[in-house]
Amino acid sequence: MFETFKLEMVDLPEATLRVRHGGSGPPLLLLHGHPRTHTTWYKVAPLLAQHFTVVCPDLRGFGKSSKPADPHDHEASSKRAKAGDCVTLMKHLGFDEFHLAGHDRGCYTAFRLAMDHPERVLKLAVLDGVPILSALERCDARFAARWWHWFFYAQPDKPERAILADPDAWYGGTRETLGPGNYEDYRVAIHDPDTVRGMLGDYRAGLYVDPLDDLDDRDAGRRLLCPVHVVWSKRDDLEELYGDVPATWQPWAALPVTGAGLDCGHHMAEEAPEELAAELAAFFSGEGGGGPISAAAQLLET
């Protein structure tokens, strides 16, 4: 995996992040979701590295990056704290401005980064997610039944006990579907008690801290100032729950939000890497995004 990329541990003021970076061109930061690590991008990142300098960290609390000293410190697991890590990481690598994409839980950190640091983010792509506050305010019995894990993972102590009793059965995934190297990295993460606690901290902050930050922004009239492009999995449930997914994001953005659905399941970087890379390349290159995948694919091949 990542044959031409550099792997290093980067010490930051509040965290130590494991990060891979490679390629050339405008900087692009990719943020993974739960329960993955940065290796989820192992097929997507090399395609994008043809045109971008691609940076893939393990977020604080995930993978081999450092975990908050106090697993019950919601502020330390907040998206604001993780966004601060990302800004400092990119400055360390020499980038004051960059493109940004986040998947699943990573899209919440990406959203917070673009909201808190608008001068840093050139364009934002959000993959398989809507703003946390929007999800919670629309919560009904159907949402609770589908996304029950949001509320279970936020409980103290019990989710760790349930997950660590049999992590492979809890999370699933196979060597064939994830790819050998990505699968091994993922299994190390889900079998490590500190990492499981770190990942759960992301959900606890997601109920007790992050929605308040979103609410403060909305009350103050703050919106995302950069172009925003939404990509969702057609075989997942975002369309069923929210209907027009870009329209759900539009109140949070100053510019028109674009979007596209991919014919795949939730883990799009592993299930549809070429299509996802093409969609992101088209958006970040200035082609817009949301157009024909074949046209974007030609961009990657040039």
Q: Catalytic residue positions?
A: 104, 266
List the 98-103 sheet strands across, edge first: 6-11, 16-23, 53-57, 27-31, 98-103, 121-127, 228-233, 258-262
Q: In whole angstroms, what is the distance from residue 49 CA to residue 282 CA?
A: 13
DSSP output for 241-259? HHSSHHHHHGGGBSSPPEE
Encoded amino acid at 100, one letter: L
Cα–chain center distance at 300: 22
DSSP output for 65-99? S---SSTT-TGGGSHHHHHHHHHHHHHHTT-SSEE
The candidate with the shortest Cα–Cα distance to 126, out of 33, 229, 30, is 229
| Bridge partners, 56 (sequence order) | 20
Q: In whole angstroms, what is the distance from residue 159 CA to residue 217 CA?
A: 31
**What contacts 58, CB < 8 A, 6 or more positions away?**
17, 18, 19, 32, 37, 38, 64, 65
The candidate with the shortest Cα–Cα distance to 41, out of 55, 27, 51, 52, is 55
Phi, psi of 209 (to 5 degrees): -125, -55
